[in-house]
Amino acid sequence: MKKLYHYTPMLILTIFAAIFMLLTELLAFCQTMVFNTDYYVWSISNSGADKALYNEIDTYFRQFSIPTAIPKEVYTKSLDENTVSVTAKRLTKASFDYIFGNSTKKPEVKYDYTQFETDVTDYIEKYSEANNIVKDAEYYTFIDNTLNVAEKKVEASFDIMMAQKLADSSITSLSRRVVPQVNNILIGCSAVLLILLGIMVYIDRHHPFDLPYWIGVVMFVSSALLLIPSVYCRYTGYFDGLFMQDESVYYAITGSIYGVMDRIILVNCILFALGLVLIVFAQIIHIFRVRDAKHHHHHDDDADEDDDD
């Protein structure tokens, strides 16, 4: 191990630099992924949550067709997989935009039930005419109730990440104030990190070959603090145990969590490796400098002996 100059002040600065590098990285992940509404839209497709949602709606109407005596195909005729996926993504994006303070408009499902209502009503009317069923008050009540129950189920299903429910909760008032400030906090942490690194460079300015070691330690420690728990959670399937009633919600939420973890693992593997390389590089430089110093020392001794002769 090489001798390190200004060990105590450099160690203290390294600890604080590692902390602020960790904070900077976490805030950067929050800014680019956790608080990025487009990430959740991408995650819905990437996790297969939208396909699971369509299958759940299809299964529901297969069961709903039994008490209503209306074939499942009548209900699902206008509910194709693409329409379901697009509607769920729009609601998710609108909900998170409101939660994160990007929009002042409360999220709502934007789906046109006109064709759905037409399909169901037409089938009931044709069936009634073919079977001479009287169109009395009970008849129209049946139509209204059937459409009301079906539409409520479909509308509730679109909240695939439960973001609309979250938008209606009390915590949203806090998130709408805090999230818009994350970028400023990120800039502040980045500035403190650069200042700490600048002070380290200044203190060790007469010993520049020590700097790769200290910078490497900062990267090594800060990345390890994120890498170890992330790898553990990811490869033990820690969040697989989350209980969700609907498979689509489970896919959407766990897919989003693991997506963030995958990115954290990737970035911190790179930082961890770079930190290790810098530490090893500093040791190698030290070995060569020691050898070079010894070589020059022996050369000077030989020159002195020649002069004595």
Question: What DSSP string describes 18-49?
Answer: HHHHHHHHHHHHIIIIIT-HHHHHHHHHHTTH
pLDDT of residue 92: 95
Q: What are phi and psi for residue 62, nearest 5 degrees?
A: -65, -40
CA 199, 205, 210, 212 torsion: positive or negative?
positive
Question: In the chain, what is the straight-line distance between the N-terminal and C-terminal CA atoms, in Å?
Answer: 39
pLDDT at residue 1, as a whole number: 47
**For the ranges 42-46, 107-111, 296-300, which has the lowest average pLDDT?**
296-300
User: Do residues 257 and 237 lie in contact, with contact meaning Cβ atoms separated by under 8 Å?
Assistant: no
* 171 exposure class (CB count in 10 Å sphere: 0-12, 13-18, 19+): exposed
- For the chain, give every domain's residue range: 7-36+177-301, 38-170
Neighbours of 41 (CB within 10 A): 18
Question: Per the structure block, which two tokens stand in for 49?
Answer: 């949550």
Number of residues that this document lists for the chain: 309
Helix (H, G, I), strand (E, B) or coil at 133: coil
For residue 60, pLDDT over 90 is answered with: yes
Q: What is the pLDDT of residues 261-304, one digit of tens each?
A: 999 999 999 999 999 999 998 888 767 665 665 655 555 544 44
